[in-house]
Amino acid sequence: MSQNKTRTIIIITLIVLFAAVAVLVMTGSFSGVEDGIYSWVYARMNLGLTSFMVFVSHIGSVRGVIIIIVLLLIIPKTRMVYGIPILINLSVSSSLNSLLKVIFSRDRPSFFPIVAETGYSFPSGHAMNNTALYTMLALLIFRRTENRTIRYLVLIPAILFPAVIGYSRIYLGVHYAGDVLGGWILGVAVTLTIDSVLIYLKNRAERKTRE
């Protein structure tokens, strides 16, 4: 099976998984699991961890993501290789997230939040956009190096950062677990799709140049 077909299957599978999560969330079928997860998280709260989670959530905010993108864009060596693709990916991810929030119109958790948030809850923008950011960054770096050590050093934070940021949103009481799960899944799906489109456009442009 070709790499393109494999990636297409993965994208379709992720979209189906997201749709399944959305159905479970919006029908209330996932509420028992979500309540159980929050109870587990709540039982382990302490002042030190709360301060850390607030910090992590700020890093994963729109402002934090924009800072990373701006840094990649202003550095000449990273502008075209990383900055532009990540900017395109995050623009699509953020726009889609805003649209889906309106479509699903899920209210924020009813328990008392540690930080103030507005807007709808599903899917989590923090989870979705940071997953899109770090997944795309990992894909771009993987494409430029065969060094296994470097790849592991990239892969670990690419998984860990979105995971911790998503967890922080549950911990702070501004998202249900289903919101975060949906954001993670869709963040990967969007990234694989945008990356595939960018590769196709690049290859097409190169073919036209050779002709």
CA atoms of 133 and 139, how far apart (whole Å): 10
Per-residue pLDDT for 170 more than 80?
yes
Residue 65's nearest CA partner among 138, 125, 121, 118 is 125
What does the mean pLDDT of the chain come to? 93
Contact assessment for residue 192 and residue 138, using Cβ atoms and an 8 Å cutoff: no
pLDDT band at 108 (very low <50, low <70, confident <90, very high): very high
30 secondary structure, DSSP code: T
Per-residue pLDDT for 125 more than 90?
yes
Tens of pLDDT, residue by residue over 39-77, are 999 999 999 999 999 999 999 999 999 999 999 999 999
Residue 103's nearest CA partner among 125, 117, 132, 123 is 123
Q: What are phi and psi of 61, to 5 degrees?
A: -75, 170
Number of domains in the chain: 1
- Give Cα 146 distance to the centre of its chain: 25
Residue span of the structural domain in which 164 resides: 3-210
For the chain, the straight-line distance linking the first and the last C-alpha, in angstroms and rounded, comes to 29
Quote the pLDDT of residue 211.
66
Peptide bond preceding 123 in cis form (omega within 30 of 0): yes
Percent pLDDT > 90 in the chain is: 80
Q: What are phi and psi of 81, to 5 degrees?
A: -75, -40
